Amino acid sequence: MEKIFGFFDDANREYVITDPATPFPWINYLGNEDFFGLISNTAGGYDFYKDAKFRRITRYRYNGVPMDAGGRYFYIKDGDSVWNPGWKPCKTPLDSYECRHGMNYTRIAGSKDGVEASVLFFVPLKTWAEVQKLTLTNTTGKVKTLQLFSFAEWCLWNAATDMENFQRNWSTGEVEIENGNVIYHKTEYKERRNHYAYYALTNAKADGYDTDRETFIGLYNDFTNPQCVVAGKPGMSVAHGWSPIASHYVEVELQPGEHKDFVFVLGYAENEQEKKFSLPQPLQKEGGLITSLGTLDRTIINKEKAHEVIQRFASVEAVDAAFSELRQMWDGLLSKFTVASADERLNRMVNIWNQYQCMITFCFSRSASFFESGVGRGMGFRDSNQDLVGFVHQVPSRARQRIIDIASTQFPDGGCYHQYQPLTKRGNNDIGGGFNDDPCWLIFGTVAYIKETGDFSILDEMVPWDNQPGTEVTLFDHLRISFNHVVENLGPHALPLIGRADWNDCLNLNCFSWDPNESFQTTENNSEGSKAESLMIAGLFVLTGKQYVSLCKELAKRSVECINYQHEAARAQACIDAMVEAVKQHGWDGEWYLRAYDFYGNKIGSKENEEGKIFIESQGFCTMAGIGLEDGMVDKALDSCKRYLDCAHGMVLNHPAFTRYYVEMGEISSYPAGYKENAGIFCHNNPWVIIGETVARRGNDAWEHYTKICPAWIKDQSLHKVEPYVYCQMVAGKDAAKPGEGKNSWLTGTAAWNWLTITQYILGIRPTYEGLEIDPCIPSALSEYRVHRVLRDAEFDITVKNPDGRESGVRSIVVDGIPVQGNVITATPGHHTVEVAM
Ligand code: GLC
Ligand code: GLC
């Protein structure tokens, strides 16, 4: 029997962890708009405001020993014993432990020697703060006298320099302390920063505090034995430089059976420039006129904003009310699409965890997880476009804003910065640029938004190039120019030039790097004279190009400029036809699609190659685009995926894995065989092949691939290692030392793509401009399922029946008792009952 560390509680939409020593920290995310926290099952992690690099609020040590050091810790001292509700950091054995990760909240409970401690962590809606409600209960028949210490360590704002610039950092730290109950972090506040952070105990009086780490912990102690906790006495320290922290000390007496709640608020505030400092005492003249503003103290924070939040959460009732608002928000978000089937694993992925992960990837792109340090990567151009497709049904208005933000970073020729910084929304080249797939993704994201909302007005929005005022053109123009970017960058086989790389950031065909000190992602490229072409972009172009054509046709129906749009549709269609021809001519290897041509025009991903004979990306995109479907190419390519790429844990990216370094391919061959882009199971591109399977109408095959990488089907939690409730970017492939071991959980396009796959292509409930297309492609064993889908002002209750065990095909659709022709149902406002027979 494999060891089990937790289980799903679907009724509460929680994953319940029962053993704190999970194979890796299993984390959750707090907050969903501006203020965020990462929290592990032992309360490790950190908070930040909007941007994990520039506005890091609390400190965290990545890659530390032990793993997962730094977090929000409560120390409970009961006589000689010191313990934490979440086991860490003291790791004192607990009598019971449970961590419940829910939708943007986590509840961690531990008990020891008749004391129960339960902490609820969440970020209330529209609030720039993490609220922690700690409940202490005495379950014994005797009076308990406990000493409680809270703990948070401030990050000096910039998470990057915080880890390296010690000659400055160790002198800049500053705090303020208000009645011992509120500890303010104000490093750099008196100069250019207009923001501060605070940690408050809101509903009780603190009996002491510490703000200096060395005093609280001791220079040669660690989180497991802070000297103040061990001594049972706060240090009342005031930090000057070094490492400022925030710790409250409370003496707690509990009668038999009694419980007490303590509310802590860890927040962030920004002040307007003219209101930065503490309010002066106005001098009053006779008659009540203000004569002078007095002297402003330009070192003391104006604390009004913190006070407001502290007041707002000064009672348990207020906290509970805010928590139920958060739960209600999630009730609403998750009610837009639900499935009911006989398979609870399917239901829990669709109804809860896949949607939740889509919200998280929408918020964070690839910036902050336990694998992404929050320092190196902001919001990716392609990443964010994909993420919003998984999220758009939840809060369409936020997806709309995201599309505008992303498009605003584009260059006038359609090229893109590969990422932008969430705080400034400006593009940067920190992780490279010139990826020739990037522009296509804007079409992908925008079309998904319009199909969800019916909001064509987004296309008229005026959007700048590279955020330069005065350069605005319509969003539609951005799409047109994105489409053209591919057309204007074709190589010798009339296939798309790859540029720096395509979706696979590690297939660096123009890089030729021999210098270990340069990054494959940003090093100078030799694209001049390059013949490197990508079949992945070819497939992506055909797929998104078709979307662009149907958008133009739709606009032709709706607009006075009908002729122009018809003309544009015809022009674009001709480019797509030419691309399809080029793929058939130069992109087919006999049993599968080639992957690319290299700098010199040699084939990559061909039976002629020694290693890397077949790659998944081009199989995924060319089958999704249906290239050569009528010639049997799609079926053959899918069969080849099964034969060469598939294994027990999913499909690997390429086969055979590269065993040596190929300078003409770059980073892909830098990884050991079976890991990451070198034949790892890159979960992100499994769904492409799965959608391809639905294009070929192979429901059983689609389902088999789907369940292999789906978290709800994971059996061996120790092997899988990372969280069993969300997708990870990569699972070690069949050539790896430990096939099946997961890495890089949470922030991956896998979430959005699997959401698309299961809802739109397997269950087959697909938004169109008109309404919903019903097109199931399911395992033949699935005899019935029901879907509740809200689309715009329409609400559908759809029952799909499959009595004959088919894999696809709709025989009849009855809407509100009336049979309809075809398989598209119109989104007329109101509630509709839909009966589908397969
Ligand atoms: C990572 C990146 C994504 C890239 C993929 C393949 O997941 O976020 O942009 O496409 O790796 O290299
Ligand atoms: C590395 C990773 C890849 C990621 C890229 C982004 O190359 O292997 O997955 O997309 O970095 O910078």
List of residues 6+ apart from 331 with CB closer than 8 A: none
578: Cβ contacts below 8 Å, ≥ 6 apart: 494
371 pLDDT higher than 60: yes
pLDDT-based confidence at 288, cuts 50/70/90?
Answer: low
CB-neighbour burial class of residue 84 (10 A; exposed 0-12, middle 13-18, buried 19+): buried
pLDDT of residue 377: 85
H/E run at residue 440: helix 438-453
**What confidence tier does 560 reach under pLDDT thresholds 50, 70, 90?**
confident
Q: Whose CA is nearest to atom 7 of ligand 1?
A: 748
Exposed/middle/buried for residue 799 (C-beta within 10 Å: 0-12, 13-18, 19+): middle
Output the CA 504–ligand 1 centroid distance in Å: 6
Ligand 1 centroid – CA 352 distance (Å)? 25
Tell me the β-bridge partners of 609.
none
Q: Which of 517, 482, 493, 536 is nearest to 682 (CA)?
A: 536
Q: Quick one: residue 792, left, alpha or beta (phi over 0 = left, psi -120 to 50 = alpha)?
A: left
Beta bridge partners of 723: none
pLDDT tier, 652 (very low <50, low <70, confident <90, very high otherwise): very high
The band of 561, judged by pLDDT with boundaries at 50, 70 and 90, is confident
Please, which pLDDT band fits residue 2 given cuts at 50, 70 and 90?
Answer: confident
Q: Is the CB of 735 under 6 A from ligand 2?
A: no
Q: What is the mean pLDDT of the chain?
A: 96
Mean pLDDT of 443-452: 98
pLDDT at 287 over 70: no
Ligand 2 contact, 384 CB (< 6 A): no
- The reported pLDDT for the residue numbered 293 is 53
| pLDDT, position 563 | 83
Pocket test of ligand 1: the residue of 652, 684, 747, 753 to mutate, having most ligand atoms within 8 Å of its CB, is 684
Ligand at minimal distance from the CA of 675 is 2
Q: Which ligand is located closest to the Cα atom of residue 429?
A: 2
Residues 252/148, Cβ–Cβ less than 8 Å: yes
The ligand that comes nearest to the alpha carbon of residue 617 is 1
Check pocket membership of 505 for ligand 2, CB cut-off 6 A. yes
Q: How confident is the model at residue 289 (pLDDT cuts 50, 70, 90)?
A: low
Torsion of CA 483, 488, 490, 492, to 10 degrees: 160
Q: Give the residues surrounding ligand 1 with Cβ less than 6 Å away.
A: 366, 380, 382-383, 503-506, 677, 684, 729, 748
Distance CA 207, CA 832 (A): 60
In short, whether 710's Cβ falls inside 6 Å of ligand 2 is no
**Residues designated as active site:** 505
SS3 638: helix
The structure tokens listed for 714 are: 């994971």
Tell me the two tokens of residue 575.
């480019």
Let me know the angle formed at the C-alpha of 26 by 22 and 29, rounded to the nearest 5 degrees: 160
Q: Answer for the pair 117, 110: CB distance below 8 angstroms, yes or no.
A: yes
User: Closest ligand 2 atom to the C-alpha of 431?
Assistant: 12
* Residue nearest (by alpha carbon) to ligand 2 atom 3: 505
Cα–Cα distance, 532 to 631 (Å, whole number): 27
Which atom of ligand 2 has the smallest separation from the CA of 520? Answer: 7
- Ligand 1 atom 10 nearest Cα: 503
Q: Which ligand 2 atom is the nearest neighbour of the CA of 729?
A: 9
Per-residue pLDDT, averaged over 193-211, amounts to 98
DSSP letters for 117-136:
EEEEEE--TT-SEEEEEEEE
pLDDT at 255 over 90: yes
Question: Which atom of ligand 2 sits closest to the CA of residue 376?
Answer: 12
Whether the CB-CB separation of 85 and 75 falls below 8 Å is answered with no
Task: Give yes or no for residue 431 CB within 6 A of ligand 2.
Answer: yes
Provide the b/e sequence for 271-285 (b: ≥16 CB within 10 Å). beeeebbbeeeeeee
Length of the chain in residues, anyone? 838
Query: Does 676 sit in the ligand 2 pocket, CB within 6 Å?
Result: yes
CA 382 to ligand 1 centroid distance, Å:
9
On the CB side of 657, CA atoms within 13 Å amount to: 21
Pocket probe for ligand 1: among 419, 441, 503, the residue whose CB has the most ligand atoms within 8 Å is: 503
Higher-scoring residue by pLDDT: 734, 528: 734
Structure confidence at residue 562 as a pLDDT band (50, 70, 90): confident
Residue labelled with tokens 């053993």? 19
pLDDT tops 90 at residue 705: yes
Atom of ligand 1 nearest to the CA of 505: 12
Q: At 35, is the secondary structure helix, strand, or coil?
A: strand
Indicate which residue's Cα is closest to atom 5 of ligand 1. Answer: 504
CA distance 350 to 340: 9
Looking at the predicted structure, is the pLDDT value of residue 281 above 70?
no
Residues 76-125: tens digit of each pLDDT: 999 999 999 999 999 999 999 999 999 999 999 999 999 999 999 999 99
Is the CB of residue 521 below 6 angstroms from any atom belonging to ligand 2?
yes
Q: Is the CB of 406 under 6 A from ligand 2?
A: no
SS3 track for 352-413 = HHHHHHHHHHHHHCCCECCCCECCCCCEEHHHHHHHHHHHCCCCHHHHHHHHHHHHCCECCC
Q: At what angle do helices 438-453 and 535-558 cross, to 10 degrees?
A: 40
Sign of CA dihedral 219, 223, 229, 233: positive
Q: Which residue's CA lies nearest to atom 9 of ligand 1?
A: 383
